[in-house]
Structure 1
Amino acid sequence: MNFALILFILSVVTGVAWVADKLVFAPKRKAAGIDRMPLWLEYTASFFPVIFAVFFLRSFLFEPFKIPSGSMIPTLMIGDFILVNKYTYGIRLPVINKKIVDMNSPERGDVVVFRYPKDENVDYIKRVVGVPGDVISYQNKRLTLNGQAFTYDEKPDYLDPEHMSYAKFYRESFPKEFGGVSHNVLNHPERPAGVYTQDRFPFYENCTYSMSGVTCTVPPGHYFVMGDNRDNSADSRYWGFVPERNLVGKAFFVWMNLGDLKRIGRFE
């Protein structure tokens, strides 16, 4: 369901009714000594300010999303309601998704929402690991970026609530040469290190697959993304790179989790 399109249509319909009431119907009612709007205007023109405000906020400022799967555990949990900054990577026209104002580019370590390249009606959320020009190598469940190794600070084992199994829990950090940003990740020791895919995605030739993992060179205008729950995430390792035009925004805040109110305000 294209919710942006639905809001746009509702904004246009109720907006036309609102303008018509201000310019035509309201003066006629006043002249006739009638105070109350007709019922059809109450259910159109009266709702225009609220519908337009929601449409504007959702299209240009912030959009709420619900986390449907465990691919970003332990950073984001199933059932988290998050807010996504829609303007940090540039301002786009809603519905047609055309960028009209260029601003920042995604940085390594950002958690981003994007339209899934294989089905753009579906939104995904992952972490940016590689930006255009980067060489990303994921071998034996360890990352390197342009030949520089990530560091891993091991923590006590973590119970993955989606699969009810214990996983290795690490604080993973980008190389200092590339910002040193750190975040939590999970690895399941029983899962094989190799990455296998039959999907010949755009720029597939930029990737080399082996029994120990995958190495990819990120093409211009694209990003390499991964889930923090490394062995339970369908991401760029399997279906390819995220085009810049598919970016929706940067996730930054958990505003609700009905199953765990302590999650509110967290994002780590």
Structure 2
Amino acid sequence: MTAASTPIKLGEAITARRTPEQLRARRLLAWRQLLTSLWAPLTLVGIMFIPYLFVIESSPAAASWAKPAMQFFGAAMFFYWVALLGWRLSSKREQALRKCRHEARELFHEAERIFARVPGKLLDGTTERIAEQAMRVEDASLAADVPRLEKEVKALDKLHEELLGAYRKQSGWETVSGFVKALLIALLIRTIFIEPYRIPSGSMLPTLEIGDQVFVNKFIYGVRIPFMNKVPFQIVRAPARGDVIVFNNPIETDKDFIKRIVGIPGDRIELVNEQVYVNGVPQRRDLVSKDFIVHNLEGGQWADDEVVYYRETLDGVNHAVLQSPRPVTPRNEGPFIVPEGHVFVMGDNRDNSSDSRVGFVGQGHPPAYVPYGNIKGKAMVVWLSLGYGGVLSGLFDGTGLRLDRFFEPVR
């Protein structure tokens, strides 16, 4: 036999052998495989999560119906995943079918890589022989005949060794390049689009609770160049009053903080009797409760704190604010003049937050402002919460899965 002068693509050779009935059966099997994959419920949640984010970001009032709907869908997908897992573990036949089908796919992709890498070097008839055996494997797979499928997959592997053996060993470069591509995609997503952040402290209570995991929109303010703390240009808009942002602490640059923007460039911020004044205008603040209970972590143990709960309206953004009944910060603070290209931030738990007022360090330190380049993005939604109470909290010293916090918009 001699090297083929005009190599035929393996996929084309297999497709040419399929009948219309086989094509329909193959499409049905592909859908069945997708919908019975353990990744299917997670993928469906991810797909629905995208329009959910768009709805709650573009229309905050829509969260009143969108959040319950998303929570219901998420719960349904959880039970879907549990049911799939139970079925997969209990059905030996399904396990064997999936194993054989996976091996068959791996062999097919291996052959395609070899055909693409060494075109023209394979012997005449190689494509036809492998395509014929691949069709036998496919027929057994469509029939869900486990013994026959195992036999045909072994025959295909043996044929690969006979015809492609010299090229089967994957090069080190292919392994490295695959890893590098996956890493670059992950870095691209985290750099440009979205990044998770875990709430480590109670400085943003009750808006964000200890153990909440939030997604951060990195696209809205512009693409930030990591390590350089530069934003070459804005994409959607500039940071605005009321936004809850994650930023790189300008004082201790190895730490990320999450706070609410209270002042933007040029603003004059004052706190008079704990009420926020922006450029001399008092921001509305309504008392909700004088004995509101929040849960804080102290020395690794959960503790109840009694605080005063207000609803504050900051430039049209209505949000929660807590004050201690016995304030540990001065009743009057400021004025703070926000420099160009910076923002002034505070925690919603006003008497328990190291923020711009105290230089992100503590009482007695000069104020500090967050440069635009240090802002990583705007907090959008809680996607997971491992905090006080919730599922299994009795087993983990009060920390459990807070299902009620899932898909909570950050306001």
Which TM-score band (shorter chain)? Answer: 0.7 to 0.9
Moved over 6 A (4+): none
Distance 1:191 1:88 in 2: 36
> In the alignment, does 2:389 pair up with 1:257?
no
Q: Map of 1:233-244 to 2, 5 A cutoff?
A: 233-239=353-359, 240-244=368-372
Distance 1:146 1:94 in 2: 33
Distance 2:226 2:326 in 1: 44
Q: Which residue of 1 aligns with 2:308?
A: 168
Q: Map of 1:1-268 to 2, 5 A cutoff?
A: 26-27=117-118, 33-38=166-171, 40-41=172-173, 43-103=175-235, 104-156=237-289, 157-162=291-296, 163-174=303-314, 179-194=315-330, 212-239=332-359, 240-258=368-386, 259=400, 260-266=402-408, 267-268=410-411
Kept in 2, the 8 Å contact 1:80–1:254? The answer is yes
Counterparts in 2 of 1:98 and 1:244: CA distance versus 1, 3 Å: closer
Structure 2 unaligned segments of length 5 or more: list them: 1-112, 123-163, 297-302, 360-367, 387-399
Moved more, 104-113 or 42-51: 42-51
1:214-237 deviation digits (Å, cap 9, x = unpaired): 221111111110000001100010
SS at match of 1:191: coil
- In the TM superposition, residue 193 of structure 1 has moved relative to its aligned partner by 4.2
Given residue 209 of structure 2, which amino acid in structure 1 is its aligned partner? Answer: M
Higher strand share: 1
Counterparts in 2 of 1:212 and 1:99: CA distance versus 1, 3 Å: closer
Given residue 232 of structure 2, which amino acid in structure 1 is its aligned partner? Answer: I
1:86-139 deviation digits (Å, cap 9, x = unpaired): 121111233434323323211100001111011222111100000111111012
Given residue 228 of structure 1, which amino acid in structure 2 is its aligned partner? Answer: D
Given residue 236 of structure 1, which amino acid in structure 2 is its aligned partner? Answer: S
Higher helix share: 2
Moved more, 86-95 or 249-258: 86-95
Q: Highest relative contact order (Cα 8 Å, sep 6+), 1 or 2?
A: 1
Counterparts in 2 of 1:215 and 1:262: CA distance versus 1, 3 Å: same
Distance 1:218 1:51 in 2: 38
- In the TM superposition, residue 43 of structure 1 has moved relative to its aligned partner by 4.4
Distance 1:94 1:217 in 2: 28
Q: Which residue of 2 aligns with 1:197?
A: none
Kept in 2, the 8 Å contact 1:74–1:186? The answer is yes
SS at match of 2:186: helix
Moved more, 211-220 or 59-68: 211-220
1:65-91 deviation digits (Å, cap 9, x = unpaired): 111111001011111111111121111
Aligned residues: 224
Percent identity reads 39
Q: TM-score, normalised by structure 1?
A: 0.76
Q: TM-score, normalised by structure 2?
A: 0.51
Find the structure with the greater CA-based Rg: 2
> Could you say what the CA RMSD is over the residues aligned between the two structures, in angstroms?
2.3
Given residue 169 of structure 1, which amino acid in structure 2 is its aligned partner? Answer: Y
